Amino acid sequence: MWKTKFTQLLNIDYPIIQGAMAYISDGKLAAAMSHAGCAGVIASGGFSPDEVRNEIRRFKDIAGPNKVFGVNLMLQNRNKDDIAQIACDEKVPFVTIGAGNPVPWLEPLHAHGIKCVTVVPNAKLARRVQDAGADALVIEGMEAGGHDGKITLMALMENVLPDIEIPVVAAGGIVDGRGIAAALVMGASGVQMGTRFLLAEECRLHPNAKQAIIQAADTDSTVTGFSKNNSVRGLKNTFTEKYLQAEYQGASREDLETLSRGTNKIAAVDGDVENGFVLAGMSLTHLRQIEPVSDIIAQITKETEEVLQKATSKI
Ligand SMILES: Cc1cc2nc3c(=O)[nH]c(=O)nc-3n(C[C@H](O)[C@H](O)[C@H](O)COP(=O)(O)O)c2cc1C
C-alpha cells in the first residue's frame, strides 16, 4: 500500500489506473483492478448506454457495492449525455473525461459526488482544468495506444508537472515498475496504463489481437491520422499500410474516416488483426505473456519499490 495524492483522492492502495479501452474495458476487468487495490475504468466507446450500465452493475456484483472504479466520458461521442446520466444514477466514484472541453461537465458531475479526472494533452489545458476545479489530471503522451496528442510523456511531465497542484497521472508507454517509478520521481502521483492490461487474463480482447501484441516489438506500432490532427496509435498491419498510403497521398478527412470506420471492432471483437486496427502503445518489446491482473499488479508494484529503493545509489 502506497500513499500519494492520487491514492488519497480515490482511496485505493496503489496509484495505478487501467485506462478506458473502447470495446474492451468492462466491469470484469475493472473488478480485477479493484481486487488488486487499483482502479479500472469502464469504457463507453464501443458500448451502448445500456451496455455501460450493465458493465457498471457487473462491476458492483463482482467487486462489491462500495468499491472504486471509473467510467470514461468521451466528449466527442453522441451518447455522452446518456453516459453522464448513467454515471450519476449509478453513483460512479469517478469519471475520466477526454476528447473535448471538460470544463462545463465538472460542476454537474461534482453535484452528484462524482470525482472528475480529466485527460489533457498539453500544459495550457492542464492549468485551465485545474483552475476550473478538476480533481485530477491524466497527461497522456503520444506513446499511448489509442487516440493521441502530439507530445511525448516525458515532455508533458516536464511541461505540466511544475505548475499543477492537483494529482497528475502519467500515461503513455508505461508497462512496468521502472516506468511507474520514473513517473513518480518526476512528480506524478499515479499512472494510467492501457496496453499492459490488454494482456490480462480478465481482458476480453480477442485472442488473435492478444497474440499480435505478444509478437510485437518497439518498432511495430504506428500512428494513423497524424497529418489530420486525428492521431490513433496501434499495430502496423494491412489496414495501417492502406490508411497511411491514402493519408500521405492527400486523402480527405472524410475518406480517411470511411477507411477506418469499424476497424477497432474488427480487431478487438472479431479478431481480424490484418484488416482491423489493434490499438496498442509503443512499449511492446517486453509484453510476452497473458497473466491475471493480480499477478501484473504484484509484479509491477514490487519492481517499482525495488527501483525506487535503488534510485539514490545512481549518483
Ligand atoms: C485498445 C485501446 C483502446 C483505448 N480506448 C480509449 C478510450 O475509449 N477512451 C480513452 O480515454 N482512452 C482510450 N485509450 C487510452 C488508454 O485509456 C490509456 O490512456 C493508454 O492506453 C495509455 O497508454 P499505454 O497504452 O501505452 O499504456 C485506449 C487505449 C488502448 C490501448
> Is the shortest distance between the CB of 121 and ligand 1 below 6 Å?
no
> Is the shortest distance between the CB of 279 and ligand 1 below 6 Å?
yes
Ligand 1 atom at shortest distance from the alpha carbon of 119 = 11
pLDDT, residue 148, reads: 87
> Is the shortest distance between the CB of 203 and ligand 1 below 6 Å?
no
Instruction: Name the pLDDT band for 283 (thresholds 50, 70, 90).
Output: very high
Asked whether the predicted pLDDT for residue 100 surpasses 90, the reply is no
**Which is it for the CA torsion 271, 272, 275, 279, positive or negative?**
positive
Asked whether 123 and 159 are in contact (CB, 8 A), the reply is yes
Instruction: Name the pLDDT band for 312 (thresholds 50, 70, 90).
Output: confident
> Is the shortest distance between the CB of 22 and ligand 1 below 6 Å?
yes
Instruction: Give the residue whose CA is nearest to atom 5 of ligand 1.
Output: 21
Q: What is the pLDDT of residues 109-162, one digit of tens each?
A: 999 999 999 999 899 999 999 999 999 999 999 999 999 889 999 999 999 999
* Average pLDDT of every residue of the chain: 96
Give percent of the chain with pLDDT exceeding 90: 95
Q: What is the pLDDT of residues 163-217, one digit of tens each?
A: 999 999 999 999 999 999 999 999 999 999 999 999 999 999 999 999 999 999 9
Asked whether the predicted pLDDT for residue 55 surpasses 90, the reply is yes
Max alpha carbon distance in the chain (Å)? 54
Asked whether the predicted pLDDT for residue 314 surpasses 90, the reply is no
Residue 43 CB burial class (10 angstroms; 0-12, 13-18, ≥19): buried
Instruction: Give the residue whose CA is nearest to atom 21 of ligand 1.
Output: 194
Asked whether the predicted pLDDT for residue 85 surpasses 90, the reply is yes
Q: Long-range CB contacts (< 8 A, 24+ apart) of 130-133? A: 130/164, 130/165, 130/166, 132/102, 132/103, 132/106, 133/106, 133/107
Distance 2 CA to ligand 1 centre (A): 24
Instruction: Give the residue whose CA is nearest to atom 6 of ligand 1.
Output: 21
pLDDT, residue 118, reads: 97
> Is the shortest distance between the CB of 19 and ligand 1 below 6 Å?
yes
**Which of 279, 285, 286, 300 is the pocket-test mutation for ligand 1 (most atoms within 8 Å of CB)?**
279
Q: What is the pLDDT of residues 289-304, one digit of tens each?
A: 999 999 999 999 999 9
pTM of the model: 0.96
Distance 249 CA to ligand 1 centre (A): 28
Distance 32 CA to ligand 1 centre (A): 18
Cα–Cα distance, 270 to 134 (Å, whole number): 37
Instruction: Give the residue whose CA is nearest to atom 3 of ligand 1.
Output: 21
Asked whether 30 and 42 are in contact (CB, 8 A), the reply is yes
Q: How many CA atoms lie within 13 A of 59 on its CB side?
A: 31
Taking only Cα atoms into account, the Rg of the chain, rounded to an integer number of angstroms, comes to 18
pLDDT, residue 121, reads: 85
